[in-house]
């Protein structure tokens, strides 16, 4: 299958050919051919939805965990015959403890990953400085394997070797398969999104227990609300509510329902024993 080339025309109607690989877009921020700065804003690929996707991803992950674990916990407490006050306070304690836990675990995990990325980047930068010919040959071979023709490779390398930061990004992307954009991410914000979503959605199963309902009615309403929340979260395809997957929603709802049912049965079994 022929690779598609991206062709952009500048103000003088001179055609410029850009390599087909979308992997180049994040780090080639100036034209590959020539030095016409008027094309810089065209070739600089700014995708704000990618940042939003990462945040939404954390919200979906944290929210799904919150609902699933929350409904399982309340179902288990309901199964052992706990009163509404106990279920509410235990559920609130669980929600806050879980939110704090997921915040710190997510933050530490991301910080550790970023530290590892920085080590790899420093090592690759040093290799470009000390072994430029070897690094250049490695990148040329990788580009050829990805389907670039020799002429395209020559054009790309001629541009990259004049800017070592762009060269470094190319090495990281094609040789080490690292997500360079992760370095621009904000672990604190993403971790807060996950923790906040966990707390918010973990409260969903507790809502029916605020009212004077029977245990079975409260349990069924709690499960229904939780399954609806899981469906919406599971259907959200990382980039927002405009892109939904009903299969993903049903899968999340089914798993949440199964978890709640198992914990309810376990609670009933424990209450009969003790």
Closest to 94 (Cα-Cα) out of 263, 212, 273: 263
Let me know: does 77 contact 90? Beta carbons within 8 Å.
yes
Number of H helices, E strands in the chain: 9, 2
Domains held by the chain: number: 1
Backbone angles phi, psi at 178, to 5 degrees: -95, 145
Q: Which domain holds residue 103?
A: 50-108+194-273
State pLDDT tens for residues 165-197. 888 888 777 777 666 565 556 788 888 989 999
Q: What is the pLDDT of residue 183?
A: 55
Residue 167 lies in a domain: no
Q: What is the pLDDT of residue 258?
A: 72
Q: What is the pLDDT of residue 232?
A: 81
Q: What is the pLDDT of residue 248?
A: 59
Q: How far apart are CA 112 and CA 104, in angstroms?
A: 12
Query: Following DSSP, what letter does each residue of 164-205 receive, concatenated?
Result: HHHHHHHHHHHTS---GGGGGS-HHHHHHHHHHHHHHHHTGG
Q: What is the pLDDT of residue 268?
A: 64
Instruction: At 195, list the tokens.
Output: 């923790």
Q: What is the pLDDT of residue 260?
A: 65
Location of structure tokens 């940042």: 51
Low-confidence ranges of the chain (pLDDT < 50): 1-46, 238-243
Q: What is the pLDDT of residue 42?
A: 29
């Amino acid at each position: 299958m022929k690779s598609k080339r991206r062709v952009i025309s500048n103000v003088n109607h001179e055609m410029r050919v850009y390599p087909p690989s979308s992997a180049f877009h994040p780090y080639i921020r100036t034209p590959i051919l020539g030095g016409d700065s008027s094309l810089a804003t065209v070739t600089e690929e700014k995708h704000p939805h990618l940042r939003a996707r990462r945040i939404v991803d954390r919200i979906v992950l944290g929210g799904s965990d919150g609902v699933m674990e929350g409904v399982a916990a309340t179902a288990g407490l309901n199964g052992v015959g706990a009163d509404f006050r106990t279920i509410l306070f235990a559920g609130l304690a669980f929600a806050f403890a879980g939110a704090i836990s997921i915040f710190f675990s997510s933050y530490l995990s991301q910080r550790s990953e970023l530290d590892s990325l920085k080590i790899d980047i420093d090592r690759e930068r040093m290799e470009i400085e000390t072994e430029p010919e070897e690094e250049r040959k490695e990148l040329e071979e990788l580009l050829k394997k990805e389907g670039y023709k020799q002429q395209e490779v020559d054009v790309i390398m001629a541009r990259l070797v004049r800017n070592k930061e762009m060269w470094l990004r190319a090495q990281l992307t094609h040789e080490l398969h690292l997500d360079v954009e992760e370095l621009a991410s904000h672990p604190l914000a993403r971790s807060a999104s996950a923790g906040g979503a966990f707390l918010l959605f973990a409260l969903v199963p507790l809502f029916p227990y605020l009212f004077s309902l029977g245990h079975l009615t409260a349990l069924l309403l709690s499960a229904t609300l939780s399954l609806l929340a899981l469906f919406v979260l599971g259907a959200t395809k990382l980039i927002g509510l405009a892109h939904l997957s009903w299969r993903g929603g049903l899968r999340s709802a089914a798993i949440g329902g199964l978890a709640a049912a198992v914990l309810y049965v376990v609670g009933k079994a424990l209450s009969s024993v003790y």
